[in-house]
Structure 1
């Protein structure tokens, strides 16, 4: 047994058995009928029975599913920065996080299109409670982040995950995707949590932490959706936080959010790949002796890359202007775009609930605010 068995995806030797066991599952049928609407059921079943590796499953099935999602619920995916990456090289992608499944799936589609190493990706075990969803995630090279642990268990779990991520990057030459924070950003404020970086650094084994992060080739990634398909679903949690209440999720809430992200309208989507952090790490090493200061400076460097390259859409500018009762960014959108956004706001937020209305607008407006702050700080 491998010490990573509790969190790792399937080995290729396990893929065929998992697929054959899932052939008649209603969700597999739904996924395949969505992906290949004009293909007879026996045809895709035969192909799945012949599939013996994660790569084959991803390229022949998942890739096609994501293309269908883009066709049905977006106006297209654009990318920038991928040309800076080297083929046959692993990277540690640290990304802002907006959608449970699509953030990593779209990154992998783009990596594949550019002939680059696809990622193993972190996913919370709370999101894969259903047996089929767990199987599908392990078939798609997800590894599990264990949630809801005691402090002692959390420490052990973090060390295991750190070692596994380093194992993937250094021994398997496998790129890794991890979110800059635990869970998705609900309010549009993308910020790297230092706890994520401390967890990653656990595998450094007394080695200088900056040398460790240089070795694993840290690449910040920013992804932005013109419309967040789960925007209204994020509101109850923001409302609870505004009222200093503990938010308790409804049964199946994560699963509903997961599906909504896939099928909901996103309009345009953009992924930007930042530079590999090298010079920034040299500066951090020179200017900071204290470990916490180094981690803090690294979080700031990742934030700077993500926020400065984040693609702002008309929806972001419209929300900013409505929220601040201004026309400051009127040149960045059309009247029709504004009307469509206001209609979305009306349909998704009950009239009269000012807290929810402001939360909804702030979610879209905060990326504009953060970019303005960044520009002011570097002026």
Structure 2
């Protein structure tokens, strides 16, 4: 039995049986009716019952579903940086994380279109509590990260996940996607948590420097940017609790509601940027920085820099920045019509008498501008 039994996706030999367990589930019917609106249920059911691999499931059902989501709830997806990737190489994609499902689904759609390996992707077990969602997760090549464990169990779980990431990348030559932090970024500050990097490094060989190990993994930062966040208002209660230094407790089915809103809510334009493969950047850290703690921070900073600089700044980001700062610094980056549209959404969703709510909402959109500006100024200072 595989040591990864509790966390792994399905093997291809298990796919057909798993499909048969969910083929009559109402949620699957809803998904497929959305994906194939002009076809009778018999059409997709027959196709699905003849499916015997994860790749077939992704290409024949998930990929057209993603295309339909883009068609219905966006003004299109653009990309940059994919030319840096080699078709025979596996990569560890460390990504900013804004949408529960779409971030990885859109990346994989792009990888598939460009003839590159699709990823195995990390997903929190809090999102797949229902049996149907667990089946679907395993059918779309997700591996599970367990949340909320006591310290001892968390350590063992982290070692297992780390070993699975290594196994995927170095044994199976399968690319891996993981978010730069636990959970989605809700305030617009894309920051890599060192705990994620520590967890990944647990599978390094004994006495191997963790930076040498990261070089072997072909780390690639990924930036995904939505012009409008369809879950922006849903994020407000947590942001307000944080601003008021209160403890936030998620409501029942909150993750599922957010998941659905992210998929069907209007996003306008979307961009995915592939950053540089960090082999050279890590080599520079090895030469310039001493001590494991400082090296780990330098690696996190390097990933942050790539993600923030690669983040596409849509007009909504500049509008929010200027509203937050009460300025017109970036007025050339948006039209009066775009500003009016953003302000209408902002006024409709946020209490205009609550200064904390106003600041929290605008910061969510403006922080990528602030962070990108700061890094570019620092880079100018160095040169």
TM-score by shorter chain over 0.5: yes
**TM superposition shift of 1:243:** 1.4
**TM superposition shift of 1:287:** 1.9
Matched, 1:262 2:251: no
Deviations 1:159-192 (A, max 9, x none): 0000000000011110000000000001000011
1:353 aligned residue: 354
5+ residue gaps, structure 1, are none
User: Structure 2 length normalisation: TM-score?
Assistant: 0.98
**TM superposition shift of 1:21:** 1.1
How far apart, in 1, do the equivalents of 2:15 and 2:247 lie? 40
- Using the TM superposition, name which of 127-136 and 160-169 deviates more: 127-136
**TM superposition shift of 1:375:** 1.1
2:247 aligned residue: 246
**TM superposition shift of 1:358:** 1.1
Structure 1 residues 296-307: aligned runs within 5 Å? 296-307=297-308
How far apart, in 2, do the equivalents of 1:154 and 1:246 lie? 22
**TM superposition shift of 1:89:** 1.3
Structure 1 residues 1-379: aligned runs within 5 Å? 1-206=1-206, 207-379=208-380
**TM superposition shift of 1:245:** 1.2
SS at the partner of 1:123?
Answer: strand
- Using the TM superposition, name which of 206-215 and 192-201 deviates more: 206-215
- Using the TM superposition, name which of 289-298 and 186-195 deviates more: 289-298
SS at the partner of 1:37?
Answer: coil
**TM superposition shift of 1:351:** 3.1
**TM superposition shift of 1:278:** 1.3
Deviations 1:320-349 (A, max 9, x none): 011111011111000000000011111211
How far apart, in 2, do the equivalents of 1:21 and 1:378 lie? 54
Q: CA RMSD in A?
A: 0.7
How far apart, in 2, do the equivalents of 1:232 and 1:151 lie? 34
How far apart, in 2, do the equivalents of 1:286 and 1:338 lie? 47
How far apart, in 2, do the equivalents of 1:267 and 1:208 lie? 44
How far apart, in 2, do the equivalents of 1:280 and 1:42 lie? 52
How far apart, in 2, do the equivalents of 1:357 and 1:289 lie? 43
5+ residue gaps, structure 2, are none
Deviations 1:48-72 (A, max 9, x none): 0000000000000000000000000
**TM superposition shift of 1:288:** 2.5
**TM superposition shift of 1:294:** 1.2
- Using the TM superposition, name which of 280-289 and 24-33 deviates more: 280-289
SS at the partner of 2:202?
Answer: helix
How far apart, in 1, do the equivalents of 2:43 and 2:103 lie? 30
Number of equivalences: 379
How far apart, in 1, do the equivalents of 2:205 and 2:244 lie? 42
